[in-house]
Every structure is written in C-alpha cells, then in structure tokens.
C-alpha cells in the first residue's frame, strides 16, 4: 500500500503474469454462458489472428490494463474505485505466453484538504523481453 509519506521517486512493481492461451480465451472469449463460447477474435483464435496479419493470438489491451488496475487497487486500496484515474497508451503487443509486469513510480504528491493526498504516478507494463507495452500516468488518493 502507498502511504501519505511516500517519497517522490519511490518505485513499485507488481507480480509478473504469464498470458497463457487459457487466460487469453477466458478473458476475451465473452461470458462462458454465451452460445458458441468462446467468441472468435484476434485474442482467442490463432487462425483469426493470422488472418489480420498478426503472428499469433495477442492479449487485449484491457487484459494488461486490467492487471494494472489490480496493481493500483493493491497500492491505493478500495478507495481507488472512487478516486482513481489512469491515462495510458498501448505501444506494443503482448503475444500468447509472454509475461507482463506492472510498474509504477511516484512523480508528484498534491495535498487535497477534502480527500487527503493525491499521489501521481508514472505507470508502465513491461513484457519479459524488456519491451514496454503500455505507458502512461495514474493517480489515486491516500490519507
């Protein structure tokens, strides 16, 4: 958890998560109760992905964005659901079986008399080959 006295420059790292075929299909196939599950798309079906020029199935941006939100909730607690914000760009693909890790670094702190202290972060998600796949900023309130 981030505390009010966190230092600007402090860095945090989430756990690495392997985007396996099972997790791709479970995430992007639609509700399990849908007829014809899973939906065929570039995230769930290799042939479909290749038909659009991709080398293999790839993760939806919201898959590792969701992991980043999970990381933010770990850092800010349930208060994130009412005060959090995140602005990100998707800059590279995550292909099947690659591992993604969420990172955050404190870049600013702004006192807010009504809410507490707003902590501003640089955030990014990184593949196991060292390439960043998502970059941006996030902010949440503590105190």
Partner 1 sequence: MAVKIVENSAMDLKVGDEQAPLVFTVTPELNQQYLYAVEDYHPRYLEKGAWGDPIIHPSILMNMSNRTRSPSFKLPAGWSSIHARDDTEFHSAARVGETITVQWKVVECYERKERPYQALEVRITRPNGELALRRIAHSTVSRQEKAVTGKSS
Alpha helix (H) residue ranges in the chain: 21-28, 46-51, 61-76, 80-83
Nearest to 62, CA basis, from 98, 86, 82: 86
Q: What is the rounded CA–CA span in Å between residue 115 and residue 112?
A: 5
Residue selected from 41, 46, 101, 117 as contacting partner 1 according to rule CB under 8 A: 41
Q: Which of 44, 67, 98, 125 binds partner 1 (CB under 8 A)?
A: 67
- Report if residue 84 touches partner 1, rule: CB under 8 A: yes
Asked if 43 and 11 touch (Cβ cutoff 8 Å), the reply is no
User: Which of 9, 31, 36, 130 lies at the binding interface for partner 1 (CB under 8 A)?
Assistant: 31
CB of 4 to partner 1, least distance (A): 20
Which residues contact partner 1 by CB under 8 A? 17, 23, 26-28, 31-33, 41-42, 50-54, 60-63, 65-67, 69-70, 73-74, 78, 80-90
């Amino acid at each position: 958890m981030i505390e009010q006295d966190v230092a600007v420059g402090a860095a945090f790292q989430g756990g690495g998560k392997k985007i396996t075929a099972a997790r791709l299909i479970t995430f992007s196939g639609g509700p399990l109760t849908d007829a014809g599950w899973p939906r065929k798309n570039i995230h769930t079906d290799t042939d479909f992905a290749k038909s659009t020029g991709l080398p293999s199935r790839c993760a939806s941006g919201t898959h590792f964005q969701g992991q980043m939100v999970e990381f933010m909730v770990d850092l800010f607690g349930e208060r994130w659901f009412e005060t959090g914000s995140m602005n990100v760009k998707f800059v590279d693909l995550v292909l099947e079986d690659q591992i993604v890790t969420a990172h955050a670094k404190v870049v600013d702190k702004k006192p807010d008399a009504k809410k507490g202290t707003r902590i501003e972060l640089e955030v990014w998600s990184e593949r196991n080959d060292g390439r960043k796949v998502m970059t941006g900023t996030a902010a949440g309130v503590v105190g």
